[in-house]
Structure formats: structure tokens, C-alpha cells
């Protein structure tokens, strides 16, 4: 990602809050593998499940894996790897502004249309 569009400031803001991203079954398997523990142990120690939605536990207002940075970086959920380039950002200028406000990694000089244009160039179209 070109730095003029996005450069992570490692502020940790996106790892804070009372909920986290939800995990896919692949995320759960990858994370257990990375931590070298069983899925059952991963779930009992680090995850929470409600209405079939699996998230990471929240401790002191942040993801349980946040400690000045992500401590499971290679095994983190794919939604974390995508942030802040959430698909909703491209479909709604208001989402873009909201995400831009909460993520200092997105250039403040970047407008919605310019951001979409540059991102589209980097994202191959599916046929
Ligand atoms: S909020 Fe943005 S700049 Fe801060 S850690 Fe998350 S992605 Fe990086
Ligand atoms: S897994 Fe890592 S990047 Fe994702 S919310 Fe938790 S600490 Fe942040």
C-alpha cells in the first residue's frame, strides 16, 4: 500500500473497544496453529462465542492479544489484516470519513474519490 494513501502508525486504536472483529473457522485454525495450542484451548483461553459469532476476548477495553501492538500478528484474523481497507469504505463516503477519523494511518489529505481511485488501481478486478 503506497504510503501516501495509508501507513500504519501502530497506535492500536483499531484493537480497542468492547468488541473485536469476528473470526472465521480458518482464522480460528490459523491462530491455534500460530499459538501452538489446540482449538479447544484457544477458545477457552482467548475467544468468546455468542450466537455462533466468535470474537476475541476483550480485556481492559482492548483485544486480549493487544499489548502495545498485536502479539499474534502472523496469526491474526483476516479482517484485522484488511483494516482499514474495509469494503464498506468504497461504497459510502460517510464510512470513509468515519474510518479516516478513527485511523490516523489514512492520509488526512486524501479525499474519498481520490482514495477510491488509487485503491482501485491496486485491487485487481475479479472476472
Ligand atoms: S488505527 Fe490505523 S494507524 Fe492505528 S494501528 Fe490501526 S490500522 Fe494502524
Ligand atoms: S488480533 Fe491483533 S490486530 Fe486484531 S484486534 Fe487483536 S491485537 Fe488487534
- The CA 9 to ligand 1 mean position distance, Å, reads 6
Using DSSP, state whether 40 is helix, strand or coil: helix
84 lines ligand 1 (CB under 6 A): yes
Give the per-residue pLDDT at 127: 42
Give the per-residue pLDDT at 126: 46
Can you tell me the distance from the alpha carbon of 85 to that of 88, in angstroms, rounded to the nearest whole number? Answer: 8
Give the per-residue pLDDT at 124: 57
- Nearest ligand to the C-alpha atom of residue 10: 1
- The CA 22 to ligand 2 mean position distance, Å, reads 11
Contacts of 15 (CB under 8 A, 6+ apart): 62, 63, 65, 66, 70
The DSSP output letter for 16 is B
Using DSSP, state whether 44 is helix, strand or coil: helix
What is the torsional sign of CA 6, 54, 91, 103? Answer: negative
Give the per-residue pLDDT at 95: 85
Q: Which stretches in the chain have pLDDT values below 50?
A: 126-127
Amino acid at each position: 500500500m503506497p504510503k501516501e494513501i495509508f501507513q500504519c502508525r501502530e497506535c492500536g486504536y483499531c484493537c480497542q473497544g468492547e468488541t473485536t472483529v469476528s473470526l472465521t473457522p480458518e482464522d480460528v485454525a490459523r491462530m491455534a496453529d500460530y499459538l501452538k495450542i489446540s482449538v479447544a484451548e484457544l477458545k477457552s483461553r482467548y475467544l468468546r462465542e455468542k450466537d455462533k459469532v466468535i470474537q476475541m476476548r476483550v480485556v481492559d477495553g482492548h483485544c486480549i492479544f493487544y499489548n502495545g501492538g498485536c502479539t499474534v500478528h502472523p496469526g491474526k484474523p483476516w479482517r484485522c489484516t484488511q483494516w482499514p481497507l474495509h469494503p464498506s469504505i468504497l461504497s459510502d463516503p460517510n464510512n470513509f470519513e468515519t474510518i479516516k477519523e478513527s485511523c490516523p494511518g489514512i492520509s488526512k489529505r486524501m479525499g474519498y474519490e481520490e482514495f477510491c481511485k488509487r485503491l482501485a488501481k491496486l485491487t485487481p478486478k475479479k472476472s
